[in-house]
Amino acid sequence: MNFQHIDPLQADSVCLSELCIACAMSAADLHELMDYGALAPLEEAQAEPHFAISYIEPLRTAGILRRDYDLDLFVVVILMDYLQRIVQLEAQLHRLQAQTCVAH
């Protein structure tokens, strides 16, 4: 699976090992993020936790910032919250822009 350009129409979840590769983070780090509540596995009963594909970009960005600025993992939790909120707001903005275009 090419993690640089994952098509959400082809895959809606990734397993823990795929997420580690995609975000260049260790499984221990991702487990710690789960403990902090910043990363929530899907409610599937599988041997390996699976996560929504939407975690890849914010985790990748937070991981890069962590390595570049030698940040503590708890700071990644804060970054994840903000990055996910930005993604939500951008999606909302796109929906509103599409509605505005249809109305005109």
Question: In the prediction, which pLDDT does 2 show?
Answer: 44
Q: What is the CATH number of the domain that holds 86?
A: 1.10.1660.10
Residue-level pLDDT at 27:
95
Kindly state whether residue 43 falls inside one of the protein's structural domains: yes
Q: Which residues contact 27 (CB under 8 A, 6 or more apart)?
A: 16, 17, 20
Q: Is 37 left (phi over 0), alpha (psi -120 to 50) or beta?
A: left
Domain count along the chain:
1
pLDDT exceeds cutoff 60 at 100: yes
Q: Specify if 57 maps to a domain.
A: yes
Note the pLDDT of residue 79: 92
pLDDT at residue 12 greater than cutoff 50: yes
Tokens of 8: 């959400």
Angle CA(69)–CA(70)–CA(76) in degrees, nearest 5? Answer: 90
Tell me the CA distances in angstroms from 11 to 2, 15, 95, one per residue in order.
11, 11, 22
Question: Structural domain of residue 97, as residue ranges?
Answer: 13-103
Model pTM score: 0.76
pLDDT of residue 29: 95
Q: Cα(60)–Cα(47) distance, rounded to whole angstroms?
A: 24
Which tens digits make up the pLDDT trace of 35-93? 999 999 998 667 889 999 989 989 999 999 999 999 999 999 999 999 989 989 999 99
